[in-house]
Structure 1
Amino acid sequence: MRFSIRHYPLKTRMVLILGLIALLQTGALGLFALHHLSQSLQEQMGERALHVAKTIAAMPQIINAVDARDSSELQPLASLLARTSQARFVVIGDADGLRLAHPMPERLGLSMSEDDDDVLSPTLHQGLAQVTRAEGSLGRSMRARAPIWSIDGNRIIGIVSVGYLLDSVEALVDRYRLTLALVILAAFAFSVLTAIWFAGHFKKAIFGLEPEEIGRLFQERDATLQSVREGIIAINSQGQITTVNQAACRMLSLPQHTALIGTPIQQLFPDTRMLEVLTSDTPQFDQEVRVGDLQLIVNRLPLHQGNKVTGVVSSFRRKDELDLLSRKLTRIRQYADSLRSQAHEYSNKLHTIAGLIQIGATDEALNLIGQETRDHQALIHLLVEAVPDPILAGCLLGKYNRARELGLMLTIDPDSQMRDLPPELPREKLVSIIGNLLDNAFEATLSHGSTQPVITLSMTDLGDDLIFEIEDQGPGIPAETQQQIFAKGVTSKSEPGHGLGLHLVSTQLEQLGGTLTIEPGTSAGTRITIYIPKHPGGMHG
């Protein structure tokens, strides 16, 4: 089975790695220190041996005894000098390299070349003092040899060899080696404790996740960012881009997203409000922004680390996509309202007809069926002739049924005509305006308790404007409050959820470039007239 450190948790890995690094570092440094110490001690021992050897070779007593080949004098003198200088041995030989003094008396008279002939020659023949490390008759030693010159200094009459055994060096190195082992163990223990503390702190900072989990989460996050249809751009506290997905690059015609990382956001978008969010720490939602030819809906949120704002993320989508979705939802809602109203209305009619049949009033039941058929046929015929647009026609048919359901009558002027609807006019905004005004007219009429609960609608497409006129039988709107009713949240009702319809009408009408007037009704109530230009920017009444 192959060993892999990735199988272990991050804490174990950090302990192993830091401990191993400390072990290798202290071990390598220790070996280097021991080697350097051994070399230094041997060099110092060699220099000392050389100094002692030269000193002995220059002593007149030694020179005279060597010249006379007097071993009896040299032997005790060499022993004394060895003890005095703390040398392991002092060996003295004549000009031929024969021992005249030696710690082992049985070796007197024997040649010193048995220890090292290559070193004797330069010393005896050339007068060179040398330091060598060799295995001699007394063991491994650091020895120094110096020539003994005659009194007149004209000839070499002998040689002095002073040696210090390396056992003391090795013993000293052994003591340091033990100290080094203890230091290595202490460093290893310190590294392990440090690794445990640091790993715990690091794990806390990364929410207890393993590196592989972080990598997987990063890949998931990147895949998520690249898969969403919304554009996403994030900046750090310096205003530099840290994240941008492919949807943002495609939407804004930016370079490859990886090339934008680190770019100041103002370099790409000088008028960006992301820096405003960065300094104010206030999120911004559903802001309409124009970038070139694009109209975007933008959200901006600050990013926090503790109590500090560390960046801003902005998500945005093209407004025309949201408008398309809104258009589809508006159509579905209009169809649903129309079907619900028709189902409720016909359910009431069917119950009434069933009751008439049960009591035997068949003639009244037939009259009611005929009246219902005639009313719907007349309305459908009018809508087909006057309003060929299916969305607007469906909206009006739904509101007609809703009025019947509420006990009201929605009357459409038979002279109405709305055939010239511009193709570019957003149908969802048009039906939203008409639908909200009719709903408001229904509520006003019901709340007033009018004896003639009739709401009238007339429309014309003659000229440059589309004109819709809606008149109710409500209590009317005082002139001093006519402008206030279009403010968001303003309503005469106490129930929550009101006060949005007329505000929406005002907003959408402004987007279409239209206007609105409020007048008293013919007999009572209020008449609201709206003017929507067929071509925005043109003149309209």
Structure 2
Amino acid sequence: MLAVVIAAGAVLAVLQTRRAQDDATRAEVTDTAVAVAQAPSTLAGVRGPDPTAVLQPVTEALRRATGMDFIVVMAPDRTRYTHTDPAQIGKPFSGNIDRALAGQTFTETFTGTLGPSIRAVTPVRDADGRIVALVSAGVTRTHIGEQVREQLPIILVAALGGLLLATGSSLLLRRRLLRQTHGLGPGELRAMYEHHDAVLHSIHEGLLVFDRSGEVAEVVNDRARTLLDLPAGPVRRADLPVSLQRLGAGVVRDEMHVTPDRVLVVNQDVVEHGGRRIGTVLTLRDHTELRDVLGELDSVRGFAESLRAQAHEAANRLHAVVTMVELGRAEEAVNFATAELELSQSLIDRLTGSVAEPAVVALLLGKVERAAECGVELTVTGDTQLDSADPLTPHEMVTLLGNLIDNALDEVGHDEDAWVEVTVRRDDTASSSELFVRVADSGPGMSEELFTRATERGYSTKTDHYGLGLALVRRLVARHGGELRARREPESAVTVRFSQ
């Protein structure tokens, strides 16, 4: 294609050169004819007895000096006084002279005695302005062709140089393109793009491919936009949830991230080629439903552990009662068994009487037993009163309370005299109704800044789930338009309010 373009350019250059040479020739023959016609010697020679003898030597010398092929001085009746070929002297001039006889100077292309030529014809005037003779100067087409041919080598050399430069540039460009496309041709690239595009938009995992800087996503599939609620158009790292913005450009394995609507498992890998980093790949899996199921499983497991602990404790108590009976101390055995039964039954009766949701009652009883195993005193305050979990569902209420109590138990750890206090109640007025949840503990608590960072961090590794519970709580509270706060004075406590 480049050869055809350059060849066409060379042909156009030749044509342009020929046209320019024709224009230059017209100007030269016109200037020469006018100069001869206005020379005083021409007028004197024409008026002399022998115009040829006077004018022929002068016009021939001027013709050789100017490069003209002929300079003809003629009478108004076309009779030649001078000519390059002496045999033509005295014969009539062949060509148009009408406009010159009318006083004009003009040029024309005409085939005369010397062949096709470009000629100019102009009048010779006397002192009174009368036309007494005509002058014609011309250059043959053959002569013009020779002048054009003299310039052909330059044009051909320029065209050849352009062709060599274009060919070398094309080879270098091809080499670079093949290097950048790993040797794949256009057809292979098109097939790869179509296949990859179909795969990227059909997989059920979210996928984002970032450039070398890690800030601009070059590929975002449909699933990723759905999981992260991203609008159409370009995506930057700053457009992602806060926890994903903090990932950086390193390797991440199975981190749990909580967004306002979903729980996501995130992996990130660095992509390298030839030892050079070319970007990062971020994948997202939706574990919202799985997390809910795991939460329910954790609750059931907690209930089972609580029942196991109660069964073990009941066996110990029963063994003590039987031993006391065998020792003949029946009255003391009755008092011991009754006291333990009254203590446990009192808590059950109080919770079932004040809390209408069975799942919440079961959760609180299970957490009391778990706290006891950890050496922590967990109490449910006397003002706990819950007739309905609205606006939360029973499952959401269990998630909220369970995570807050678990975080409190983790906070106090194995401190001496550690305690946790739980309050759940509904405050109803004539104009509004408010669901209030408060979990206090004997731990040092968190500042507002640390608490905000813990709830916004929203990620967890497989071995450390601290922060994930608070992020789940924050997501639940935000979903229902509630208020979540933490304070350290006069005691460490986390409070949640839902107004209706």
Q: Tell me what 2:79 maps to.
A: 98
- Read off the aligned partner of 1:96 and give its amino acid letter: D
Q: Tell me what 1:272 maps to.
A: 242
Q: Distance in 2 between matches of 1:135 and 1:433?
A: 119
Which residue, 71, 74, 92 being the options, matches 1:111?
Answer: 92
- Read off the aligned partner of 2:247 and give its amino acid letter: V
Structure 1 segment 499-518 matched on structure 2, within 5 A: 511=403, 513=405
Q: Tell me what 1:35 maps to.
A: 15
Q: Gaps spanning 5+ residues in structure 2: where? A: 309-343, 352-360, 377-400, 415-421, 426-435, 442-500
Contact 1:147 1:160 (C-alpha < 8 Å) held by counterparts: yes
Q: Distance in 1 between matches of 2:267 and 2:244?
A: 10
Q: Per-residue displacement from partner, 1:191-223 (whole Å, max 9, x unpaired)?
A: 233322322222122222222222222233222
Q: Tell me what 2:286 maps to.
A: 317
Contact 2:207 2:281 (C-alpha < 8 Å) held by counterparts: no
Q: Tell me what 1:262 maps to.
A: 234
Q: Tell me what 2:114 maps to.
A: 138
Name the CA shift for 1:98/1:211 in 2 (closer, same or farther; >3 Å).
Answer: same
Q: Distance in 1 between matches of 2:423 and 2:194?
A: 52
Structure 1 segment 102-501 matched on structure 2, within 5 A: 102-112=83-93, 115-117=94-96, 120-126=97-103, 128-150=104-126, 152-236=127-211, 237=213, 239-255=215-231, 259=232, 261-266=233-238, 268-269=239-240, 271-278=241-248, 281-303=249-271, 307-308=276-277, 310-311=279-280, 313-321=282-290, 324=293, 426-427=296-297, 430-431=300-301, 462=348, 464=361, 465-467=364-366
* Structure 1 SS opposite 2:191: helix
**1:138 Cα deviation (Å)?**
0.9
Name the CA shift for 1:301/1:165 in 2 (closer, same or farther; >3 Å).
Answer: same
**1:432 Cα deviation (Å)?**
7.9
Give aligned-pair identity as a percent.
Answer: 19
- Read off the aligned partner of 1:245 and give its amino acid letter: N
Q: Distance in 1 between matches of 2:112 and 2:306?
A: 119
Name the CA shift for 1:213/1:47 in 2 (closer, same or farther; >3 Å).
Answer: closer
Q: Distance in 2 between matches of 1:167 and 1:467?
A: 115
Q: Gaps spanning 5+ residues in structure 1: where? A: 1-19, 328-424, 439-458, 471-476, 484-508, 520-531
Q: Distance in 2 between matches of 1:309 and 1:109?
A: 90
Q: Distance in 1 between matches of 2:134 and 2:402?
A: 121
Count of aligned residue pairs for this structure pair: 350
Contact 1:303 1:313 (C-alpha < 8 Å) held by counterparts: no
Q: Tell me what 2:46 maps to.
A: 66
Name the CA shift for 1:467/1:121 in 2 (closer, same or farther; >3 Å).
Answer: closer
* Structure 2 SS opposite 1:207: coil
Q: TM-score, normalising length from structure 2? A: 0.57
Name the CA shift for 1:109/1:436 in 2 (closer, same or farther; >3 Å).
Answer: farther
Contact 2:73 2:81 (C-alpha < 8 Å) held by counterparts: yes
Name the CA shift for 1:172/1:59 in 2 (closer, same or farther; >3 Å).
Answer: closer
Q: Per-residue displacement from partner, 1:518-538 (whole Å, max 9, x unpaired)?
A: 99xxxxxxxxxxxx9999968
**1:89 Cα deviation (Å)?**
1.5
- Read off the aligned partner of 1:170 and give its amino acid letter: G
- Read off the aligned partner of 2:197 and give its amino acid letter: D
Name the CA shift for 1:139/1:210 in 2 (closer, same or farther; >3 Å).
Answer: same
Q: Distance in 1 between matches of 2:28 and 2:297?
A: 110
Contact 1:95 1:157 (C-alpha < 8 Å) held by counterparts: yes
Q: Per-residue displacement from partner, 1:72-121 (whole Å, max 9, x unpaired)?
A: 41444443443344321221111222222233344333322xx322xx11
Name the CA shift for 1:41/1:252 in 2 (closer, same or farther; >3 Å).
Answer: closer
Contact 1:130 1:144 (C-alpha < 8 Å) held by counterparts: yes
* Structure 2 SS opposite 1:65: helix
Contact 1:513 1:533 (C-alpha < 8 Å) held by counterparts: no
Q: Distance in 2 between matches of 1:468 and 1:161?
A: 123
Contact 2:268 2:280 (C-alpha < 8 Å) held by counterparts: no
Contact 1:75 1:101 (C-alpha < 8 Å) held by counterparts: yes
Contact 2:76 2:134 (C-alpha < 8 Å) held by counterparts: yes
Q: TM-score, normalising length from structure 1? A: 0.53
